[in-house]
Structure 1
């Protein structure tokens, strides 16, 4: 699974994309509201790990999640 942090412009907030190994979009959520999207994927228990990685990740870069 991969995570991408996307910078918002003006009134559009910052977003996070979660993608599988084939790069299919699994989730797309605001940085400040990840709860429902991660719960739908069954990753609610990994919320702290994922959000810690997102906080450290520069905008526009892709990081691999080991889940």
Structure 2
């Protein structure tokens, strides 16, 4: 799984993309509201870990996660 943190501009907030190994979009959510999206893809039990990774991730960088 890959994580990409996207910087928002003006009124558009910061977003996060979760993608699988084929780079298909699994989830797309605001940094401040991840709960519903993570629950939909079955990662609600890993939400704390994922959010800690996202906090330290620079905007625009792609990070591979092994979950």
User: Where on the TM-score scale, by shorter chain, does this alignment land: which range?
Assistant: over 0.9
Q: Distance in 1 between matches of 2:43 and 2:26?
A: 11
Q: Classify the secondary structure of the residue corresponding to 1:32.
A: coil
Pair 1:39-2:39 in alignment:
yes
TM-score, length basis structure 1: 0.99
Which residue of the partner structure matches residue 56 of structure 1? 56
| Stretches of 4+ aligned residues off by more than 6 angstroms | none
Q: CA deviation at 1:6?
A: 0.1
Q: CA deviation at 1:66?
A: 1.0
Which residue of the partner structure matches residue 14 of structure 1? 14
User: How many positions carry a matched residue from both structures?
Assistant: 67
For structure 1, the 5+ residue unaligned runs are none
Q: CA deviation at 1:50?
A: 0.2
Q: Classify the secondary structure of the residue corresponding to 2:4.
A: strand
Q: CA deviation at 1:47?
A: 0.3
Which residue of the partner structure matches residue 4 of structure 2? 4
Q: Classify the secondary structure of the residue corresponding to 1:52.
A: helix
